[in-house]
Amino acid sequence: MLVFTPFSPAFSRASRGPTGCALALGLLASLQGYGQAPVARPRPDTLVGRRHRLPEAQVRAVRPERFAVGSQRLEVDSAALAQYRNGTAADVLGARLGLYIKNYGPGQLATLSLRGTSAQHTAVLWNGLNIALPTLGQNDLALLPISGNTQLSVQLGPAAALYGSGAVGGALVLRTEPDWRPGLRGSVQGDLGSFGLRGGSLEARTATPTVAVRVAASYRQAQNDYPYLVREPAGLVRYTMQNAALRHQWSISPDVAWRVGTAGELTASVWLTDADREIQQGVSVAGSNAREIDQSRRLVLGYRQVTPHGGQWQVRGAWFEDIINYSDQGAISNSRVRTTQSQAEYTAPLGPRASLRLGVEAQHFAAVVDGYGPDAITENRAAAFGLLRYDPRPGLRLSANVRQAALPAGLAPLTPTLGAEWDLYRPAAPDSLAAADQPGLTLKTSIARTYRAPTLNERYWRPGGNPDLLAESGHGYEAGLRHRIAPAAHLVLETELTAFYQLVDNWVQWLPLGAGGTYSPRNLRQVRSQGLEASTALRGHLGRYRAAARVAYSYTQTQKTQGVAADSDPTGLQLAFVPLHRANVTTDHAWRGWLGSATYTFMSYVYTDASASGFLPAVGLLSATLGRTVPLPGRTSLTLLLQSTNLLNRIYDSYPARPAPPRAYSVSLRFAYN
Amino acid sequence: MKKSLFTLLAGAAALASCSNPEDEFGPLVPRAPGVYVLSEGQFGQGGGIVSAYGISSKTLLTDAFGSVNKSAALGDVVQDMGVVSNRGYICVNASNKVEVVSVPDFKSVATIRNIRQPRYFASTSATRGYVTSWRGPYTNYAPGKVMVLDLTNNTVIDSITVGRCPEQLTVVNNTIYVPNSYDNTVSVIDASTNKVTSTVTVAAGPQNVVADQANNLWVLCSQPYGTTSTPPAALARFAPGSTAAQLTLPFASSGPKQLRISPDKTQLYYSYGGAEYRMATTATALPTTPFMRRNFNGFAIDPRDNSIYGAVSTGFTTNGYFLHYPAAGGKAIDSVTVKVGPNGFAFY
């Protein structure tokens, strides 16, 4: 599948010869890459091929990532993702990528902080559409089950030109990709774990030459009745966590892709999630029995068509409904938002070395929220964007993107992005190496402006909502080096070092500046974030043994740099809940049917207030997975997975007064048909 | 050399022991006279504390309860503290408890649990205490209670149903006056029977009741908690035993709070429009010029020297501070940083 692309010379890193040759090389490289299938290898952004259906040319969608030249991107590969099949994005992003997640407890609210920014500063996209809750402008990662997606990646740094509002610290990109391999595949899994964890999932895929279908579903519940210790005047007292159960969490996601002729593809994806949670309060808060129902229904229809001249156009329409119903001791707060979105874009080749994408999108929100009063609130937003990728020569890749959004309160800041990657040297290497494994030293840099549209809560909440609020604006720079060597056959060592600097201006803060001293959001602050990200990954295989290891370190200094007198948070101090140092080690091993994997994440202390006085101490957490797959007759297999989190049994709070669970185990049994 | 090394090691050990939170011999409450400063802390994070400040030594023990009691956390949202003889009673609002400590050393004596949403403490004697207690969730409040405490064994012995969101109560000659801040009433309780004897109607949102030199009652009525449309705020005076207001002084806008009275009971103080006002109990009109141009989140007058303490809260995520002024006001003598949300004082 996906063998033909009209933009191959421009996008192929292996394009060293004439166009046709490059195409072939890229294809070959991809094939080799697939054969090796090392863990944690980023998908090459060249052509991808599989052995099965080579003769059939079909159009591969041109991803926005192609226009993100010079930006740092992290991807969780499918093998790792498979271990978290019954988990959520919160489980994966913390353990596998070492990102900082502000987590109120297992299954409780979990938000991502990329490069020191806040939860609202990460755009979350599913199949190309922003799925952030319009009311809150953020996503609870604990409500994004992994089973609904086949790909998960994070782009760091400002990226509004590509991903729209909210891509200030970065973007979380979720996708479901059609699997065109013919025949039926499927698996069913059951999970059992500590503190009342029960779960199950199933996945089935099938494809004919023209239709590919995937259905995935997962279920999870957990009592979360784990023990924790409290210091009391008489000494340490052991308690059991109350009112923290995940009563149920469902995710169902059917996807269909239909090839219309040789030039078109129609896709329909649905993602239904439903969670019923007890809301864990701080352990010193008594008497709460808070509970929250979160339901999201997402539907996206897309059509993609290749023109005879090698261009590609795509239209998408989406309908989302997000429900949050919260109650505590009879106090009720309900909200329902319906979002319709549409996108149209055209991607054109500009000669053999460049491509240009032009697009428009529109969003309509209709919100019925208790906090806004009895009437429904509607809001429209629109944006236009242009993305240009130009590779003047094989060792130099450039991109220039721009987006202009129109918001109800006026135009958002224009958000251009420039990016460059320059191969400083690229030694001769065996052609058998995948493009992404080609040794060399690459200099990469990008500069971007970005924005975040005010959320519906910020505009309409009563009291205090401020309809005149401006979009937050930001800009950032990053520069770095990527070095790759292949010291031995079947061994690749990749090292990346990135320095970044970014400012967020008009940062929204709720202050008692409204009528009668009510809290009201204002564009008041400037926040600066700067730091370093270093990682090195080794992957290779020897016979049937495959191994990968990655060590990453981040230094993130984030401070408020400007404010007003009414904003009492001091300047020049590290923001609360931004660890200065983070480190992450992951290692994966596979041999015959065995699988072993471990992750270690270290977080330095985080302040818990803006005065930088209270803090949560540093913590290092280890988790591990051991698995064994036994092939069974009739193309079936059985996999047993044993997993443990907090293996070192660290006692720590994931958030102030929210003790994290002690060492916990789970066991999963998966039956697969291939 | 050997001796100096030993000294160094001993010193290091002493330092290490000082910083070890598990050490029973933590820092001590500064020597009296002193003032306890209450900090609410961030809701849900369990960071409510009481700081102890030595007035003559000018030293601060930031977390008196934790320092003295094996790093125990006091709880979530420290609301009020009353002192009766050598005991302190701390209302920890979100933790639904009253912590009892010995004064001045702040050693834990008892924890009285299951007092829902405790707000303010008052006592009629060394053995009898009263705590106002809210019932029901935010904006859906039910009639509250006044919990009756036996201070000899720190137990709840009775409860009295009053109006919604009972706030800062006061005791005058064995009678307890309870302002029901989500209603427009003051409940009057006979402390000998623990029964409501009458309910006085006032303007909406009574927050505090104080008694002056002539045993007149002053009631400050302001915006009920969580409401957005405000009825006119007012300061009302009641003659002893009367259920009809003798004098009602309306405010131009909403938001007066923290009605206090001087130790000699001749001067009223309240916070309004971002400033602190002072008014003689003989006055018949509200003052027009502020006493201090400061927005205090807590205000108290030290009965020993009439000096003034004002707490300044700078939001829910930053440390606050308190200011210590001479009795006449004017320039602050001290400014001391404390934890998030300082809202009140008690003296030792």
Selection from A393, A340, A347, A342 nearest residue A367 by Cα: A340
| CB neighbour class for A261 (10 Å; exposed up to 12, middle 13-18, buried from 19) | exposed
DSSP one-letter code for A109: -
Among A17-31, A245-259, A645-659, B254-268, where is mean pLDDT lowest? A17-31
Closest Cα partner for A626 from A582, A668, A657? A668
The residue type at B82: G
Q: How far B143 CA sits from the closest chain A CA (Å)?
A: 15
B73 at A interface, C-beta within 8 A: yes
Angle subtended at Cα B163 by Cα B159 and Cα B165, rounded to the nearest 5 degrees: 90
Chain A contact probe: residue of B182, B313, B317 with most A CBs at under 10 A? B317
Chain A partners within 8 Å of B76 (Cβ): 282, 284-285, 657
Q: Which residues contact A624 (CB under 8 A, 6 or more apart)?
A: A596, A597, A598, A599, A643, A644, A647
**DSSP 3-state assignment of A637?**
strand
Is 90 exceeded by the pLDDT of residue A31? no
The strand ranges marked E within A329-431 are 331-350, 354-369, 377-393, 396-407, 410-411, 415-425
- Note whether B312 contacts A: Cβ–Cβ < 8 A: no
Tell me which of B67, B76, B111 to substitute to probe the interface with A (most A C-beta atoms closer than 10 Å): B76
Nearest C-alpha of chain B: how many angstroms from A233?
5
Whether B97 contacts chain A with CB within 8 A: yes
**DSSP-based helix, strand, coil % in chain A, nearest 5:** 10, 55, 35
- Tokens at A633, concatenated: 């007759």
Read off the pLDDT band of A488 (50, 70, 90). Answer: confident
A284 vs B69, B76, B223: nearest CB: B76
* pLDDT for the residue numbered B301: 97
> Residues A582-626: pLDDT tens digits?
999 999 999 999 999 999 999 999 999 999 999 999 999 999 999
* Res A47 pLDDT > 50: no
Per-residue pLDDT of chain B (348 residues; tens, 9 = 90+): 344 444 444 444 444 444 444 444 568 999 999 999 999 999 999 999 999 999 999 999 999 999 999 999 999 999 999 999 999 999 999 999 999 999 999 999 999 998 999 999 999 999 999 999 999 888 789 999 999 999 999 999 999 999 999 999 999 999 999 999 999 999 999 999 999 999 999 999 999 999 999 999 999 999 787 776 566 899 999 998 888 999 999 998 888 999 999 999 999 999 998 899 999 999 999 999 999 999 999 999 999 999 999 999 988 889 999 999 999 999 999 999 999 999 999 999
Report the DSSP beta bridge partners of residue A537. A494, A550
List, for residues A436-447, the tens digit of each pLDDT value: 668 899 999 999
Band (A2; pLDDT cuts 50, 70, 90): very low
**B273 near A CB under 8 A:** no
Structure tokens at B85: 């003889």
Torsion of CA A324, A336, A145, A76, to 10 degrees: -110
Token match 């009020």: residue? B80
Q: Which of A283, A284, A525 to mutate to test the interface with B (most CBs of B within 10 A)?
A: A284
Question: Above 70 in pLDDT, residue A60?
Answer: yes
Task: Give B51→chain A minimum CA distance, Å.
Answer: 15
Identify all chain A residues contacting B71, using CB atoms and an 8 Å cutoff.
231
Distance from CA of A281 to the nearest CA of B (A): 6
How remote is the C-alpha of B142 from its chain's centroid?
A: 23
Which of B40, B42, B77 to probe by mutation at the A interface, max A CB count within 10 Å?
B42
As a whole-number percent, the residues of chain A with pLDDT over 90 amount to: 79
Q: Does the beta carbon of B229 lie under 8 angstroms from any beta carbon of chain A? A: no
Q: Give strand ranges (E) for A455-593.
A: 472-488, 491-511, 520-542, 545-562, 581-591
**Does B339 contact chain A (CB < 8 Å)?**
yes
Tokens, residue A526: 């400037």
Question: Do the Cβ atoms of B73 and A284 come within 8 Å?
Answer: yes
Are A336 and A147 in contact, with CB atoms under 8 Å apart?
A: no
The strand pairing partners of A298, in sequence order, are A271, A320
Residues 6+ apart with CB under 8 A from A393: none
CA distance A300 to A303: 10
The mean pLDDT of chain A is 89
Cβ neighbors of A501 (< 8 A, separation 6 or more) are: A476, A477, A478, A528, A529, A530
Q: Is the peptide bond before A106 cis (omega within 30 degrees of 0)?
A: no
What is the reported pLDDT for B223? 78
**CB-closest option in B96, B108, B230 to A287:** B96
Cα–Cα nearest to A107, from A333, A348, A329, A278: A278
Pick the closest to residue A566 from B294, B339, B314 (CA basis): B314
In 3D space, the residue among A99, A188, A199 whose CA is nearest the CA of residue A152 turns out to be A99
Select from B231, B151, B144 the least CA-distant residue to B196: B144
Q: In chain B, which ranges are continuous DSSP H helix?
A: 2-19, 64-68
- Amino acid B26: pLDDT: 66
Q: Can you give the pLDDT at residue A429?
A: 65
Q: Are B45 and A657 an interchain contact pair (Cβ–Cβ within 8 Å)?
A: yes
Q: Which helix (H) or strand (E) holds A174?
A: strand A170-175
- Closest partner residue to A610 (CB to CB) among B107, B108, B318 is B318
Q: Is B7 helix (H, G, I), strand (E, B) or coil?
A: helix
List Cα–Cα distances, B144 to B117, B163, B178, B180, in angstroms: 9, 6, 10, 8
Q: In the prediction, which pLDDT does A489 show?
A: 82
| C-beta atoms of A284 and B42 within 8 A | no
- CA A208 to CA A206: how far, in whole Å? 7
Which of A31-40, A80-89, B56-65, B238-247 is the least confident region?
Answer: A31-40
CA distance A230 to chain B (A): 8
CA-CA-CA-CA torsion sign (A87, A88, A93, A98) = negative
Q: Say which range, A401-415, A650-664, B216-230, has the weakest mean pLDDT.
A: B216-230
Gap from B248 CA to chain A (nearest CA, Å)? 22
In which residue are the tokens 């108290």 written?
A: B300
